[in-house]
Amino acid sequence: MIIDIDDEIRINNDKDNCIVLGNFDGFHIGHQELIKNLINVSKTNNMKPSILLFKEHTRNVLDKNEFKYLTKLSDKIEICEELGIENIFIIKFENIKDLTPTEFLDFLKNKLNVKGIVVGDDYKFGEFAKGDSSLMKEYCNNNKIFLKVISQIKTKNEIVKSTTIRKMIEDGKVKDANLLLGRPYRINGIVNHGFKRGRKLGFPTANTSIEKGYILPKEGVYLTKTIVDEEEYNSLSFVGKNITFDEEELKIETYILDYSGDLYGKEIYIEFIDFIRNNKKFNHPKDLVNQIKKDIENSRKLLKN
C-alpha cells in the first residue's frame, strides 16, 4: 500500500509497522540486505514491513541544486513492491527536514505507528543530520521500539555506496555498477521523432527522451536490453552528442536487434549491460555504418559469453 503522508491527516493502521530508513538511491545490494532484515524482523514480531521514502532526494533540497539520481520515486516504489514491503510511506523531505532527531522519532512512533526500526550503521537523521544509531538506540529502549542496526555491506573490501555506483556509471563502468546494484542500471523514457538518420543508414534507432534527473553513463556505445510492452530485447544504445553530424544535443539512441515495429510514443526501459566503445567522430557516413556493423557483431559476441 502506498500512503502519501502529505495528504493524510491521520494514518490508520490495523497492525504495528516495522520501518526501514534511508535514501535508498539505487536500491543496491546493501539496501537489499536491509530489506531482507526488515522482512525477517517484521515476520518474527508480527509487524508490517514498511519503508519511508522521500519524494525527492535529500540532496536536491539541502544543496538547492539538481542532484542526479540512480532511481526516481516510481522506480523505488516498484522495487519495494517486488521485495515484499507492505506499507510504502512517501513524504516531501522539505516537510520534515527541520525536525530534531527526537522529533523525527516521535513522528515515526506517533504518526506512523512504528514499533520496529531497521537501519544501516551509518544512518543519520534529524535536523543537520545530528541523529545517529546511538541516539536511536537510547530512544527505542525508552519507548519499547525494536531496533536492528545493520553493518554496511562490503565487496572486495569496499563499502557499497550509491556515490560509488554513480561514479562507476559516469565512467562508463556499467558492468561493475550492476554488480553493486544487483541488477542492470535502468532508465526509462518516451520514444520520439529524431532526424531519422539511423533509418537512412539502415539501422533505425529509437530516439528516447529521458526524464530529467537520471544520471547517464559517459558518452559512447553500450550493450543494452530494451523493454517494450513488457517484452525484453537485446539492443545497442548510443549515449552522447552525434559529433559526426556536428550536433550539440545530448541524446540516447537505441538500435534494437531483431525487432520490427513502431515505437513512436511508447515508453521504453533501457538496461545498460556493458560498455562497447567511446563516442567517435567519423569522416564519412559510410565509416559510421561500418562501425555500427562492428558494434553489432561485438554485441552478439558479448551476448554469447
Return the CATH number at 300.
2.40.30.30
Number of H helices, E strands in the chain: 9, 14
Q: Is the pLDDT of residue 300 over 90?
A: no
Last residue of a domain, one of 126, 159, 192: 159
Three cell numbers written together for 177: 555498477
Task: Count the domains in the chain.
Answer: 2
- The DSSP element (H or E) to which 200 belongs, if any, is helix 197-200
Same domain, 88 and 200: no
Out of 7-11, 21-25, 179-183, least confident range: 7-11
| Closest to 30 in 3D by CA, of 165, 186, 201 | 165
Same domain, 51 and 98: yes
pTM comes to 0.88
Same domain, 222 and 121: no
pLDDT recorded at residue 210: 78
Any idea what the CATH number is for the domain that residue 93 is in?
A: 3.40.50.620
| Average of per-residue pLDDT across 239-266 | 82
Same domain, 149 and 193: no
**Domain-embedded: residue 35:** yes
pLDDT-derived band of residue 293, with 50, 70 and 90 as boundaries?
confident
* Boundaries of domain holding 207: 184-304
Three cell numbers written together for 87: 506499507
Within 10 Å of residue 71's Cβ, how many Cβ atoms? 24
Three cell numbers written together for 268: 521504453
Same domain, 100 and 205: no
Beta strands in the chain (DSSP E): 2-4, 17-20, 48-54, 87-91, 114-120, 146-150, 154-155, 158-159, 185-192, 206-210, 220-228, 231-241, 250-256, 267-278
| Average of per-residue pLDDT across 110-120 | 95
Three cell numbers written together for 2: 502506498
Same domain, 203 and 102: no
pLDDT recorded at residue 290: 85
Same domain, 247 and 288: yes
**Domain-embedded: residue 179:** no
CA–CA distance, 221 with 248 (Å, rounded to integer): 17
**Domain-embedded: residue 291:** yes
Three cell numbers written together for 108: 515515526
How do residues 37-91 score in pLDDT, each as one tens digit? Answer: 999 999 999 999 999 999 988 877 777 667 788 998 999 999 999 999 999 999 9
Distance of CA 61 to the CA centre of its chain: 18
pLDDT-derived band of residue 105, with 50, 70 and 90 as boundaries?
very high
**Domain-embedded: residue 258:** yes
**Domain-embedded: residue 83:** yes
Q: What is the mean pLDDT of the chain?
A: 88
**Domain-embedded: residue 43:** yes
pLDDT recorded at residue 112: 93
Same domain, 198 and 146: no
In total, the chain counts a number of residues equal to: 305
Q: Is the pLDDT of residue 255 over 70?
A: yes
**Domain-embedded: residue 164:** no
CA–CA distance, 213 with 215 (Å, rounded to integer): 6
Same domain, 134 and 197: no
| Closest to 79 in 3D by CA, of 151, 24, 138, 135 | 24
- DSSP output for 28-56: -HHHHHHHHHHHHHHHHTT-EEEEEEESS
**Domain-embedded: residue 104:** yes
